[in-house]
Amino acid sequence: MFRQHTSLACWIIFGLVLRLVLIPFTSHSDTRGHYLGAYFIVQKGALFSLYDYISRLPADNPINQIYGPQFLVYSPVTYWFHAAVLLLEKPFFPLSLYEKLVIDYGTAVSSPGYWFLQYLLKTPYLIVDIGCLFLLLKLVDRPKWTWVTGLWALNLPLIYSAYMMGQFDILIIFFWLLALFFIKQHRPSVAAVAVGLSAGFKPFGLFFLPLLPGSMFKNTLVGGVTYLAVISPYLYSLGYRQSALIAQQSDKMLFAKIWGLPVFILLLGLLYLYRLIKKTRFTWELLALPLLFFYSVTHYHPQWFSWISPFLILLLLNYPRLRFPVICLVLLNIFIIFSFDYTLNFGLFGIRYELFTHQEALISLIRTAIASTSAYLIYSLYHHAPAQK
């Protein structure tokens, strides 16, 4: 027991140091956007006029000129969370430097104290990160805790997303793991609430609701009502309905089509029908399937790959024969990161260099490899789902 606790402590310290080292040396302009809505809430009192705030600014206002009236594309909980962070950090938050960051990213990055601002913007994710690890440990047996902690400490997709890019997708992961925890406690309705809250950041989690244990209708209703309760204060807002209710990024899942039918939606429909007709018993593997569908048929943003990271860790631990394709999937995603413009890879370190941004044929092959690897994992997990007795 002492030996395991020592190993756990070593991995936690290593993971913490790795994240803290990367935070000040990497930066992406998107970080300011997540906090911009929070800035409007805390500094301008725009809690309920959030999505219409920019459109009400004068046309010559720098914020209006740089971002445009439809810039705030995320669901409300995103900005509520970051507003809470700003309130807690208000006594020592360098407001003038952040305002410079909003207007002139290049100048702000080279300003004294920018490293400190980076810590203030990204460190709150560390608390959520620790919560994710705690929940993940609750999902596995004690003998596997060291492996879980080590793999989480080296969770490259999450490290890239949260601590290099400064993206908030870790918050979505937390609520998905919370849902799995409540499912293990035989509380599927509470799990549906957790999934509904995750949709308050990005709506993808709503696709999980029909797959939760128990009544598909009840879970979908509970999760859907939770999500509607979150967004209801903003449904009257024209800005919210135009920019965030159905965000521009959401249409990526509809691009791939067969005979005019969106492939992703078609695969999801087949999965729901399979669960309904075959009455499969719930296993956590079912929630990995929509994500694998998604990565197979969409040109996803690189930070979105972090969503599947806890499921990949569970796969590595529970399916030794699937370790090779899981590792391949992670490595292929790293290549995908380098296929984007330099600001999403070398540019995070301030280096202006592009590896193979314009190598369309190579990128197409990599995406094909991701699709085929995902298909193999889908096939393996599809046949794992046990029939309900």
- 175, 205, 232, 242, 382 from 236: Cα distances, Å: 27, 24, 8, 11, 42
Per-residue confidence band for 254, with pLDDT thresholds at 50, 70 and 90: low
- Tens digit of pLDDT for each residue in 89-133? 999 999 999 999 999 998 999 999 999 999 999 999 999 999 999
- The residue ranking higher by pLDDT, 259 or 3, is 3
pLDDT at 123: 95
pLDDT mean over 356-376:
87
Tell me what pLDDT residue 389 has. 35
Query: What are the structure tokens assigned to 326, written together?
Result: 């899981």
β-bridge mates for residue 280, sequence order:
387
Q: How confident is the model at residue 360 (pLDDT cuts 50, 70, 90)?
A: confident
Q: Region 172-186: what's the mean pLDDT?
A: 96
Residue 285's pLDDT is what?
87
Q: What is the pLDDT of residue 340?
A: 87
Tell me the average pLDDT across 68-82.
Answer: 92
What is the pTM for the complete model shown? 0.94
Match 């694998």 to its residue by tokens. 292
Dig out the tokens for 148 from the structure. Answer: 């879980």
Calculate the CA dihedral of residues 272, 157, 322, 192 and round it to 10 degrees: -30
In this structure, of 221-230, 269-278, 370-379, the range with the lowest mean pLDDT score is 269-278
Residue by residue, DSSP assigns 245-314 as: TT-GGGGGGGSSEETTEEHHHHHHHHHHHHHHHHTBPP-THHHHHHHHHHHHHS---GGGGGGGHHHHHH
Contacts of 48 (CB under 8 A, 6+ apart): 233, 234
pLDDT in tens, 272-328: 988 888 766 778 888 999 999 999 888 888 999 999 999 999 999 999 899 999 999
pLDDT reading at 256 higher than 80: no
Question: How many H helices and E strands in the chain?
Answer: 19, 2
pLDDT at 17: 96
- Alpha carbon distance 302, 319 (integer Å): 25
For the segment 14-41, the average pLDDT, to the nearest whole number, is 94
Distance of CA 286 to the CA centre of its chain: 18
Whether the predicted pLDDT of 267 surpasses 50:
yes
pLDDT score of 250: 56
pLDDT in the model for residue 279? 67
Nearest CA among 273, 277, 274, 253 for reference residue 265: 253
Q: What is the pLDDT of residue 46?
A: 93
Burial of 288 (0-12, 13-18, 19+ CB in 10 A): buried
Residue found under tokens 């990565």: 295
Q: Is the pLDDT of residue 387 over 60?
A: no
**How would DSSP label each residue in 123-169?**
THHHHHHHHHHHHHHHTS-GGGHHHHHHHHHT-HHHIIIIIIS---H
